[in-house]
C-alpha cells in the first residue's frame, strides 16, 4: 500500500477507484484492519496527541479525506495522490460490493444508521446486515466485547464507523481487537451526508479545499472554533516540518 507521510501520518497515494477494488479483493480474511478517511482535523490532533498518532500509524491505511493533505503529498513528489473523500469512499464501496460482501453501520444519532441502511439498500444495492447507535459516553467506557458480539453474529465484512474525529478512530482501534471482520472504516460525516441531514459542499468548493468554509457557513456555532484553530495549525505544522528538514540537511 503506497503512502506518503503528512505530519508523520502515512496517507494513501492513489484514488478511490483503486482503493475500493483492493479492499473488496481482500474480504473474508477476518483480520479487522482499520481504515480512516483522515483530514486536517485528525492530522493536527495527531500532532498534539501522541496516543492518537500511534492509532493512525497502526491503521491499515489512512485515506486523504481533504485537499490540504493531498497538496502536501504532491509537494513531496506524489503527483498521483488524489482526494479520497470519506462519503465518496463509502458510497463507491457500497456500489461496488457484490452480494457476498456484508456491511454493518455503526454510528450517528439515534435512527441515523437505520435511515442509512435504507439508502444503502435502495440506492446503492448494498447488503446491510446490522446497525448500531453507540450511546453518548467516553470512548474508553464502551462495552466493546458486547458490541463486537453483535457485529460478529451478523457476519459482516465491513464495519462503517460514523462518528467524529478523534472519537471514531479511537472507537475503531478498540473495537477491532474483538471483531472478526475484514475492515473497520471511519468515514465521519458520511452517515449524515447520505441521508440528507447535512448538506455537502458543491464539487468546485471540495476540489479547491473550501469544503471547511462551506461547512462553517452551514454549521457556524458548532464548527467555528474547530476550523479557526485547525487551518492555521495545519499550515504552521507543515511549514515548520519543512524548515526543520532543510536545517538538518
131-171 pLDDT, tens digit each: 999 988 999 999 999 999 999 999 999 999 999 899 999 99
pLDDT of 229 > 90? The answer is: no
Q: In the chain, at which residue ranges do the beta strands (DSSP E only) sit?
A: 3-6, 9-12, 33-38, 61-64, 102-107, 127-132, 158-162, 183-186
Q: Is 223 exposed, middle or buried (0-12, 13-18, 19+ CB in 10 A)?
A: middle
CB 1 within 8 Å of CB 25:
no
pLDDT per position as a tens digit, 20-79: 999 999 998 778 999 999 999 999 999 999 999 999 999 999 999 988 899 999 999 999
**Total-model pTM:** 0.90
Residue 224 β-bridge partners = none
CATH class of the structural domain 3-198: alpha beta
Amino acid at each position: 500500500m503506497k503512502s506518503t507521510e503528512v505530519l508523520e501520518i502515512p496517507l494513501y497515494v492513489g484514488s478511490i477507484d483503486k482503493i475500493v477494488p483492493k479492499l473488496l479483493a481482500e474480504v473474508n480474511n477476518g483480520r479487522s484492519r482499520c481504515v480512516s478517511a483522515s483530514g486536517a482535523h485528525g492530522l493536527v490532533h495527531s500532532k498534539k496527541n501522541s496516543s492518537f498518532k500511534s492509532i493512525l500509524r497502526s491503521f491499515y491505511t489512512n485515506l486523504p479525506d481533504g485537499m490540504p493533505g493531498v497538496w502536501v503529498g504532491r509537494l513531496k513528489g506524489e503527483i498521483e495522490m488524489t482526494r479520497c473523500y470519506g462519503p465518496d469512499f463509502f458510497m463507491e464501496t457500497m456500489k461496488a460490493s457484490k452480494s457476498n460482501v456484508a456491511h454493518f453501520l455503526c454510528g450517528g444519532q439515534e435512527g441515523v444508521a437505520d435511515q442509512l441502511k435504507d439508502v444503502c439498500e435502495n440506492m446503492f444495492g448494498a447488503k446491510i446486515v446490522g446497525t448500531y447507535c453507540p450511546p453518548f459516553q467516553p470512548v474508553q467506557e464502551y462495552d466493546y466485547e458486547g458490541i463486537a458480539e453483535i457485529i460478529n453474529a451478523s457476519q459482516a465484512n465491513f464495519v462503517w464507523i460514523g462518528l467524529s474525529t478523534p472519537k471514531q478512530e479511537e472507537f475503531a482501534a478498540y473495537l477491532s481487537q474483538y471483531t472478526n471482520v475484514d475492515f473497520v472504516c471511519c468515514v465521519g460525516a458520511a452517515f449524515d451526508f447520505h441521508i440528507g441531514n447535512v448538506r455537502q459542499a458543491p464539487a468546485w468548493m471540495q476540489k479547491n479545499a473550501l469544503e471547511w468554509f462551506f461547512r462553517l457557513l452551514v454549521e457556524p456555532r458548532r464548527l467555528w472554533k474547530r476550523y479557526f484553530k485547525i487551518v492555521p495549525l495545519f499550515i504552521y505544522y507543515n511549514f515548520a516540518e519543512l524548515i526543520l528538514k532543510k536545517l538538518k540537511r
